[in-house]
Structure 1
Amino acid sequence: MKKLIYLVLFFAFIQSSHAQDSQTKSWSAEDKQTFEAANKLFNKRFYAQAYEKYKSLFASHENDLFLKFVTGVSAVYLNDKHEEAESLLNEVKAKDKKNKDVDYYLALLFHKTYQFDKALELANALLTNPKIAPEDKAELERLVFFSKNGKEIYQTPVEARIENLGSPINTENAEYAPVVSPDEETIIYTYRGKESMGGLVDENNKPNPKGDYNEDIFVAKKVDKVWQTPSGLAELNSIDNDAAIALSPDGELLFIFKYTGDNGDIYVSHRDNGKYGPAEKLAGDINSPSWEGSVSMSTDQKKIYFASERPGGFGGKDLYVATKNEDGSWGNVKNLGDKINTKYDEDAPFISPDSRTLVFSSEGHNSIGDFDLFTSDWNKADSSWAAPKNLGYPINTTDDDLFYVLSADGKRGYFSSARKGGKGDQDLYMIEPAIAAKKTFITIIKGKVTENLVPYETDITVSVEGDSKNYGTYRSNPESGNFVVNLPSGKNYKLTFYHEVLGDKIFNVSTEQVEDDYAEKLVNVNFGMSDTATFNPQNVVIKPGVDTGKVATASNNTNNITSEGDLLSKYGSVKIAGLKYYIQVAATVSPEKYNRSVLKKLCKIKDGGILRDNIKLLITDKEFETLNDANAFLKEVRAAGQPDAFITAKLNGQRYYLVDLIKMKVWDSK
């Protein structure tokens, strides 16, 4: 009566016993191979695949009680097979009096189906056996522990909307360990199934139709609030196991788990130009000769919380924290202590955006079965974690509930679960409102970046006043232009929105008034024709609460000019004394690196002055007296390979953007 993790020994005993040998002796070599493959899958916790292989043998061995037993045991772990599991196990119990393990799996089945009284009755009866083996006694006592917890927690369900993310993300295969971009428009997760790179492989990753699928990293995008068809992250996937485990708060770092022998280590991939680069082993002391496999990075990117099986813990997997060294490596590793860690496994930590709440999964504490989700609050007064709280039913189930992450604004949670009603195996779910023990003290800056009012993808760098290093680099979504930046309240920040040609826009953001509160601020940034903002930094003071008043850089003129077409149709042929038009092609701190050969057949590139902070403007050497002439040349410049080029102007030697001239009403007398 071993729990799953110990079934390797159970199957080894069965396969070496005279009884099992006599039952399979007459089996074909192919059937024996299928049976052995199913056993291996079962011991790896791949229940669905093991069940299918066992079930495929029924056609040839329909009366084999041991085959029915192992099939029934596999079905115990599959939510849509519980009725079949009970039928098979009861048949074995009635016909095979020598099977001493069937009652344990019936008790486990009752527990998984929330029949806690039946589970307790059967488990307690088994515990009265004076000859029970110590390891069997431990497993039964643990089942009793889970069932008692479940009986109590099941009676007081919590209120939460739990939504399966549905197709096309969830399938009949396994989807788990979600990580979500700050704008919640990209989800990266681990997938294992028919679309895995390499297909079915054996333990050496060689093609084998009786093998199993390895893990791959998949990504899905949300367009108009609808998840699109996911695809494998080709730049990171291999024929081996590749699993996504975390995303840095700014979305620039993707943490990955890779097996190294029987254990595993944590790797990190850096995003560059919208793509994640080769994964490198995390530098420092987080990785060890033991298993490490889950991480979460604090919002300021100075701490990493992770799970490890290294020696010196409280038992099984424990949770630890490491701090960032000056050289970028990770050190000063500390166990989170016995309030968090138990003699059982703890895994999948997630630190809230304000670092005041830790969410994690545990098989200890008052779990109702396997891994449950828990929260613990940080006590600032004594610098310790409070006693963890079970998130309750129906968030937690009698199956594994793991890998909980919060959205950037702390309003929604995402996690994976094998609960009943899913698409198959583990699925991805969303909880709203997110379950957290404390009110979040965080400031959310969100909005949309556009160019000529069209969604624009760009870097948004954040720095803290008084700190020479960047706090983080965020990126607007290429399809929607949306962005989300979460900032611990109580500090002053500088947000810089980058444009390759037009230069930067800076917002000085003060969150000192919301040090112990939550706030949201909407900031929309537009580059280009409709831009009315100057390039001087704008000061934004954040106050507590949700402020939907926009700090915007949209068009606001009195001449009813809303597009380039309006301006050209009204003033395209007008000449004004002292007004000349130019084509700007770049704004850069390194003008020598600009590729001037792109436009060499049309014009030369010359210095257009300094924008600010050593950002130099580059313009073409042609000047025009009318907008129509300038626009005709602009079309040639763009067609030649400079699509971001635009018209700028000088009035009496002073540089202006066209929108500035509109505000100045220079054409009104015309």
Structure 2
Amino acid sequence: MKTKKWRKTEVDSLNEALLLYDEGNTALAYPILEKIYEHHPKETYLKYVVGKLSLTRSDKYNLALKLLEESYAANPKIDKIEYDLARAYHYNYMFDNAEEHINKFLSQKKLSPEDKSNAEILKNYIQNAKVLYSSPTQAKVSNLGKPINTEWDEYVPVITTDEATMIFTYRGEKSKGGRQNASLLPDPKGIFFEDVFISEKIFNKWAEPKPIETINTNSHDAAIAMSPDGFMLFIYKDDGITHGDIFVSYALGNNEFTPPQKLKGLVNSYSWEGSCSITADGKTLYFSSERPGGYGGKDIYKATLLPDSTWGNIVNLGNAINTPFDEDAPFIHPDGVTLYFSSKGHNSMGDYDIFVSRMDVSDSTFKSVENVGYPINTPADDIYFVLSASGEHGYYSSARPNGIGLKDIYIIETNFDKKPVSMLVYGAVFKDKKAMENIPVVVYLIKDGKENIYSQTKTKAKGKYLINLPAGYEFKVECRLDSNFSESFVVSTKDLKEYKEKMHLFQFETIAKPVVQSEPPVNTNTVAATPPANTLNLNPVQKETYEYTKDYGNVKTEGLIFRVQIAAYKYPKNYSYAHLKGLGKVETIQLEDGLTRFTIGGDFQTLDEAFQHNLKVIRAGQKDAFVLAIYKGKRVYLSDLVKMGIYVKKDEQLAKEITKEHQTTTSVAATIKENKIISTSEKNTTNPSEHTKDKTTVQPPSFQTISTAGISLNPFQEKIFKYSEQYG
């Protein structure tokens, strides 16, 4: 290059960039060289170098082709220009041109063995791409967009099976420590290191991602996998001593995780181990490793969880999966048999492609693989694929033109012909209507009359839990708060032919033993602050109101108010209410029926507030006082509020809220064939120490019982009450 007339700063920058280029640090070399080229576009060698480096940037493939074509036209004898042009045409889907130039390159007589091998691999990619590109699948690939993707790098998305939470690896200006050198010291010319970020889907939109502070350090920290229930998060860390190992962290709730601990057992070695995936039962881990003895560079292995909670029994998945090239990023679907992974071998259309293989359950091996096809796969890297439980949505990172950053996360509407078959059980755990976090939920496999633990999980934020079950079995799902609170239900997947979902709420309530007592005397000279309902002799209307407070006491609705009525006259009289002094202002209102109603205490927003005031008025001597409901200026009965859908029972409301929230996190709700709330008749409440299906035990009911205190019961009612104490 003719640099005599260049400014000294340009020459220094050029030398620095070329040094970085020779060291293989293309990410730092590229922006320097690109800027110099803008000022010296006629320099052929500079044009060639920028064109070649543009092949490393998915957003620069068009520029790479333009610059390499111009360089070839100016000097067709540039070393390896035919090979570089073939790559550029390949990345730009011009496969015939790519094949023409790679054949020209291979026809050269003095190719080194390495150059010849690389060219033959590229030719194979080009031929595979022509076939796959000509027969696209029905998949639709979309950039996930902001706020997940930025102008920096986002990759390796991992999701909970309900698609409510996504954790991914980020590398950019928000990375902890900023730009650093190899010694992890601040350096304006250094690089950003990997960090782990998390986002939740709220009303079907991803929230602004946040870093997981307990995991991120100034070094590389990358998310590589998450258990289907979202409880275990697997991390890749490189401490500079080993070649990179797998760590595990556990969810604490509120998007917080424990500090990562190195995986115990034989998964990690002195070689690189960089990605993994765990089965829904938590007992098998698939992982990629560069350890000796494999079929190529990176191979995929599986490990088994041993009784001492370490990983062992390492097995290579064999040559049906592994090739002389690299295999990486395994993902085992919650169905337990469908394995996705990325490979540079098989019939890849370029670099890493995504493949699928299904286990032969007769011997638990994988015997064949299938390329998932274009447009999921491209001539560039396509890797780190994960699939929702339904099989409707996939997520992965891809280097595609017109992305937001260099590496972006994409969502795929798969439209696969063959979808996984499994069941997703979801719900939440409540005690006294309060969401309970970090509560164990255990799944038992029922076989030949025996129950063995299949999997275990814990509730997370808002008391939620996720369970993934394979087809062909019968399970019992049990939640135990302690020795006093236990509930379970049975789920069968024996006849399951497609993906289904079930929702179940575990609801426990503290129960006070009811006490029957005689009616206490009423002292009209004193006013109790808030007399309990069970100390008063209520009339039928008041009793009905009391029952409604149990399910709807705290419901607030716009336009709905309550008043406590103490009298009503068609022709108002001089009504005396001196005995109610101190209980609020007495007002009159007239509704559609023409009656003038006397109310006391003003407007109340909830039925519970109104009824509490009603009890005070009764205690003060106004025995017939009752709660009056008014909706948008008209009187309504409490039963009308139920019919109108304004009043929904607490249990039903919780179920609706959780189901709605679940469905807003995944757009596959419309395709769910069954979203069923398990009825009380399907529950199997057992003692925690007993797991035999045919045993009958007596447990306190998990729903609130009604106190009979203060109510005079007839003989028949007393008999029913005694039975309820034993068998309620």
TM-score tier (shorter): 0.7 to 0.9
Cα distance in structure 2, aligned partners of 1:92 and 1:284: 54
How many pairs does the alignment contain? 546
Cα distance in structure 2, aligned partners of 1:448 and 1:666: 36
Shift of residue 129 of structure 1?
1.2
2:115 equivalent to 1:115: no
Q: Could you say which residue in structure 2 is the equivalent of 1:388?
A: 369
For 1:190, which of 163, 169, 184 is the aligned residue? 169
Q: Could you say which residue in structure 2 is the equivalent of 1:519?
A: 500
Q: What SS is found at the alignment partner of 1:168?
A: coil
Residues 214-256 of structure 1: CA deviation (Å, up to 9, x unaligned): 1111111221111111111111111111100001222221111
Q: What SS is found at the alignment partner of 1:661?
A: coil
Q: Write the letter of the residue equivalent to 2:179.
A: L
For 1:283, which of 258, 264, 277 is the aligned residue? 264
What are the residue-to-residue correspondences of 1:456-605 with 2, within 5 Å? 457=437, 459-465=439-445, 466=450, 471-478=455-462, 483-497=465-479, 504=485, 506-511=487-492, 513-514=494-495, 518-526=499-507, 561-564=551-554, 565-567=606-608, 569-570=610-611, 573=615
Q: Could you say which residue in structure 1 is the equivalent of 2:600?
A: none
Whether the 8 Å CA contact 1:250–1:472 is kept in 2: the answer is no
Shift of residue 457 of structure 1?
4.7
Cα distance in structure 1, aligned partners of 2:498 and 2:123: 43
Comparing both chains, which one has the higher relative contact order based on Cα–Cα distances under 8 Å and sequence gaps of 6 or more?
A: 2
Q: Could you say which residue in structure 1 is the equivalent of 2:82?
A: 103
What are the residue-to-residue correspondences of 1:135-534 with 2, within 5 Å? 135-261=114-240, 263-274=243-254, 275-433=256-414, 435=416, 438-447=418-427, 457=437, 459-465=439-445, 466=450, 471-478=455-462, 483-497=465-479, 504=485, 506-511=487-492, 513-514=494-495, 518-526=499-507
Q: Could you say which residue in structure 1 is the equivalent of 2:59?
A: 80
Residues 133-160 of structure 1: CA deviation (Å, up to 9, x unaligned): 1111111111110010000010111002
Q: Could you say which residue in structure 2 is the equivalent of 1:621?
A: none
Cα distance in structure 2, aligned partners of 1:667 and 1:242: 69
Cα distance in structure 2, aligned partners of 1:663 and 1:153: 74
Q: Write the letter of the residue equivalent to 2:111.
A: I
Q: Write the letter of the residue equivalent to 2:268.
A: N
Given the superposition, is the C-alpha separation of residues 483 and 656 from structure 1 closer, same or farther in structure 2, using an over 3 Å criterion?
Answer: closer
Given the superposition, is the C-alpha separation of residues 658 and 326 from structure 1 closer, same or farther in structure 2, using an over 3 Å criterion?
Answer: closer
Q: Write the letter of the residue equivalent to 2:19.
A: E
Q: What SS is found at the alignment partner of 1:263?
A: coil
Q: What SS is found at the alignment partner of 2:122?
A: helix
Q: Write the letter of the residue equivalent to 1:473.
A: T
Whether the 8 Å CA contact 1:75–1:85 is kept in 2: the answer is yes
Q: Write the letter of the residue equivalent to 1:488.
A: P
Q: Write the letter of the residue equivalent to 1:391.
A: V
Shift of residue 302 of structure 1?
0.8
Q: What SS is found at the alignment partner of 2:296?
A: coil
Q: What SS is found at the alignment partner of 2:180?
A: coil
Cα distance in structure 1, aligned partners of 2:321 and 2:5: 47
Q: Could you say which residue in structure 2 is the equivalent of 1:630?
A: none
Q: Write the letter of the residue equivalent to 1:365.
A: H
Cα distance in structure 2, aligned partners of 1:410 and 1:504: 36
Given the superposition, is the C-alpha separation of residues 396 and 563 from structure 1 closer, same or farther in structure 2, using an over 3 Å criterion?
Answer: same
Residues 178-207 of structure 1: CA deviation (Å, up to 9, x unaligned): 111243221100011111111111122222
Residues 489-518 of structure 1: CA deviation (Å, up to 9, x unaligned): 344444345669x97452222315436664
Cα distance in structure 2, aligned partners of 1:243 and 1:273: 20
State the superposition RMSD in angstroms: 3.7
TM-score by length of 2: 0.68
Given the superposition, is the C-alpha separation of residues 340 and 155 from structure 1 closer, same or farther in structure 2, using an over 3 Å criterion?
Answer: same
Identity of aligned residues (%): 37
Q: Write the letter of the residue equivalent to 2:404.
A: K
Whether the 8 Å CA contact 2:138–2:415 is kept in 1: the answer is no
Cα distance in structure 2, aligned partners of 1:287 and 1:439: 33
Given the superposition, is the C-alpha separation of residues 344 and 499 from structure 1 closer, same or farther in structure 2, using an over 3 Å criterion?
Answer: same
Identify unmatched segments of 5+ residues in structure 2: 512-545, 555-605, 620-684, 690-698, 715-728
Shift of residue 125 of structure 1?
1.3
Cα distance in structure 1, aligned partners of 2:83 and 2:431: 65
Whether the 8 Å CA contact 1:317–1:346 is kept in 2: the answer is yes
Shift of residue 338 of structure 1?
0.5
Cα distance in structure 2, aligned partners of 1:283 and 1:24: 58
Given the superposition, is the C-alpha separation of residues 667 and 312 from structure 1 closer, same or farther in structure 2, using an over 3 Å criterion?
Answer: farther
Shift of residue 355 of structure 1?
1.4
Q: Write the letter of the residue equivalent to 2:459.
A: R
TM-score by length of 1: 0.73
Q: What SS is found at the alignment partner of 1:464?
A: strand
Q: Write the letter of the residue equivalent to 1:269.
A: S
Residues 265-284 of structure 1: CA deviation (Å, up to 9, x unaligned): 11111223552112111111
Q: What SS is found at the alignment partner of 1:57?
A: helix
Whether the 8 Å CA contact 1:399–1:418 is kept in 2: the answer is yes
Q: Write the letter of the residue equivalent to 2:706.
A: L
Q: What SS is found at the alignment partner of 1:157?
A: coil
Cα distance in structure 1, aligned partners of 2:461 and 2:710: 35
Cα distance in structure 1, aligned partners of 2:4 and 2:307: 65
Q: What SS is found at the alignment partner of 1:461?
A: strand
Q: Write the letter of the residue equivalent to 1:256.
A: I
Cα distance in structure 2, aligned partners of 1:197 and 1:473: 31
Q: Write the letter of the residue equivalent to 1:32.
A: N
Q: Could you say which residue in structure 1 is the equivalent of 2:16?
A: 33
Identify unmatched segments of 5+ residues in structure 1: 1-18, 532-555, 577-610, 616-653
Residues 54-76 of structure 1: CA deviation (Å, up to 9, x unaligned): 21233665544333222111212
Higher Rg of the two aligned structures: 2
Shift of residue 78 of structure 1?
2.7
Cα distance in structure 1, aligned partners of 2:429 and 2:311: 34
Whether the 8 Å CA contact 1:558–1:663 is kept in 2: the answer is no
